[in-house]
Amino acid sequence: MPPISDTISSKGSVVLGYSGGLDTSCILRWLKKQDNDVIAYLASIGQKEDFEEARKKALKLGAKKVFIEDVSRGFVEKFIWPAIQSSALYDCYLLGTSLTRMPEFYNRLKVRNDLMEFAKQLWIPILVTLKNLWSMDENLMHISYEAAILENPKNQAPAVLYMKTQEVAKAPNTPDILEIESKKGVPVKKVTNIKDRITHQTSLELFMYLNEVAGKHGVGRIDIVENHFTGMKSQVIYHIPAGTIYYHTHLDIRAFTMDREVCKIKQDLGLKFAELVHNSFRHGLKWEFVHHCFAKSQERVKGKVQLSVFKGQVYILRWESPLPLYNQELMSMNTQGD
């Protein structure tokens, strides 16, 4: 495959992964200035966005065609579920993030201020300002923020960044009790709220519901210093509400049903999974091998977990499985024998 810079200089047709934000809007205009026909593609993976406005904006900036596709259900089943199986929590968000970058374009625009000036010169409408320069990525699994005020670790993240999760101090004083049923390491049947007995069954429906419940209780906030593939570090704010619930649910069912040695091997492979995801190496033999190993390890991970979601925390209340390796009689301190 030829380098991207060679491809875009051919003055032909270019498919651009378009978000409607500062970066991709500038890239779209720049590609047009190179006499390319630009086809903009937007994938809906749960981000709160006005897609029709994004379509109009892309066409106004010169896109020849705009394709918008809702792939939310596939995102849950083909990307989020394997991430849950791997127990790779915060890295999971990268499975859904995509931002097309043009090397030649970014060589010319060294800093974000230059990018904003470029947008201004070409009359590109943008939402960010010099006071609001943080970078945001959103999908069904997460919202993440970095850059701007977050570049100084001494700065506290502004409250405006917490869109997906409630502040714990303002969270309800009554917990939600949920029952989650899983098979092969992922929820396949239903999530039931014990209080109102409402059951959610499809993968997309139950994931959206758990985002709502966990977000209401302030579950899933992570503030970390992240190690990049390039060796640099950055402070990043993550919101992973439903993913945090599934993370704890999976840990308990896994411990209840998986062999100890298999768990140890899976834990090592989980680190490799997180590394491949974080560095965007989601294709090739290594990815297929790790993915296959996880699928094999999850064959016995089946059962129900009842949990409480309350004040920023997930508390496991009880669990059961038709395939337990736990033996109450064998482990009981009240049983005589060897």
Q: How many domains does the chain have?
A: 2
164, 109: one domain? no
In the prediction, which pLDDT does 192 show?
A: 76
In the prediction, which pLDDT does 80 show?
A: 86
Polymer length of the chain: 338
177, 205: one domain? yes
In the prediction, which pLDDT does 99 show?
A: 65
162, 276: one domain? yes
188, 147: one domain? yes
pLDDT averaged per 10 residues in sequence order, the chain, 338 residues = 44 85 83 89 86 90 92 87 75 46 50 67 60 70 76 77 85 92 80 77 86 92 76 80 88 83 85 78 83 86 91 92 82 70
Q: What domain range includes position 18?
A: 13-70+98-121
In the prediction, which pLDDT does 83 show?
A: 82
In the prediction, which pLDDT does 37 show?
A: 92
Full 3-state SS string of 7-47: HHCCCCEEEEECCCCHHHHHHHHHHHHCCCEEEEEEEECCC
144, 116: one domain? no
In a domain? residue 2: no
What is d(CA 51, CA 309) in angstroms, rounded to the nearest whole number? 33
Whole-structure pTM value = 0.77
In the prediction, which pLDDT does 260 show?
A: 86
194, 253: one domain? yes
102, 46: one domain? yes
Strands (E), 65-142: 65-70, 135-138
252, 287: one domain? yes
Q: Is 143 helix (H, G, I), strand (E, B) or coil?
A: strand
Cβ proximity of 139 and 93 under 8 Å? yes
25, 153: one domain? no
